[in-house]
């Protein structure tokens, strides 16, 4: 039995922002992540797919109604609705590990598009609190987008004692 959508937390666990996502299956998986964790998913346009695309629906299974998701025309638009939130940009070029941060429930976890990651102008945005990375073996390019988001969301949730679980 699926959880009642009314059981979604009043304050999201954390805000996950996908900047210009391109692969519908990854976004579908992010919808599922948001539904099972209480995170709020934000998509920054342009999207590389139509939201009605079959791969997006298949990856999200029947969790679309259980997730909270917003689509924004720009990064500034999403940050404008989250004025007090800290913004952590995930990039393989960072020197700070994602586990070195003490997260708060209103934080923003910002992820770039597949396969390029966040562009330099986004990484230089004045609202970026810090750039963080998920460690990987040398010579590897990157994790799958939603795998990376899942690792980060669950670290935030772990730090909060898995409240609501």
- The β-bridge partners of 133 are 97
Every domain of the chain and the residues it spans? 5-159
Helix axes 24-37, 145-159, angle to 10 degrees: 10
Report the percentage of the chain scoring pLDDT > 70. Answer: 85
Q: State CA 124 to chain mean position distance.
A: 19
What pLDDT was estimated at residue 50? 83
Reply yes or no on domain 5-159 having CATH 3.40.50.970. no
What pLDDT was estimated at residue 28? 87
Top-confidence residue, 5 or 29: 29
Nearest to 134 by CA among 116, 155, 119, 105: 155
CA angle 92, 87, 70 (to 5 degrees): 105
- pLDDT over threshold 50, residue 3: no
Top-confidence residue, 68 or 41: 41
**Per-residue pLDDT tens digits for 130-149:** 999 999 999 988 899 999 99
What pLDDT was estimated at residue 66? 79
- pLDDT over threshold 50, residue 42: yes
What pLDDT was estimated at residue 5? 46
Question: Virtual CA dihedral for 135, 139, 143, 149, nearest 10 degrees?
Answer: 30
What pLDDT was estimated at residue 53? 61
Nearest to 15 by CA among 106, 86, 100: 106
- pLDDT over threshold 90, residue 25: no
- Please state, in angstroms and rounded to a whole number, the distance separating the CA atoms of residues 101 and 131: 10
| pTM (predicted TM-score) | 0.89
Region 27-50: what's the mean pLDDT? Answer: 92
């Amino acid at each position: 039995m699926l959880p009642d959508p009314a059981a979604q937390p009043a304050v999201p666990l954390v805000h996950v922002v996908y900047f210009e996502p391109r692969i519908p299956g990854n976004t579908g998986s992010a919808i599922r992540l948001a539904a099972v964790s209480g995170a709020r998913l934000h998509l920054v346009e342009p999207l590389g797919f139509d939201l009605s695309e079959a791969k997006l629906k298949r990856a999200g299974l029947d969790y679309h109604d259980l997730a909270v998701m917003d689509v924004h025309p720009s990064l500034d638009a999403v940050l404008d609705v989250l004025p007090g939130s800290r913004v952590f940009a995930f990039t393989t070029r960072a020197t700070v590990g994602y586990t070195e941060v003490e997260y708060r429930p209103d934080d923003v976890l910002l992820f770039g598009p597949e396969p390029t990651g966040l562009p330099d102008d986004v990484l230089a945005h004045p609202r970026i609190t810090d750039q963080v990375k998920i460690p990987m073996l040398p010579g590897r390019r990157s994790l799958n987008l939603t795998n990376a988001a899942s690792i980060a969301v669950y670290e935030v949730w772990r730090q909060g004692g898995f409240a609501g679980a």
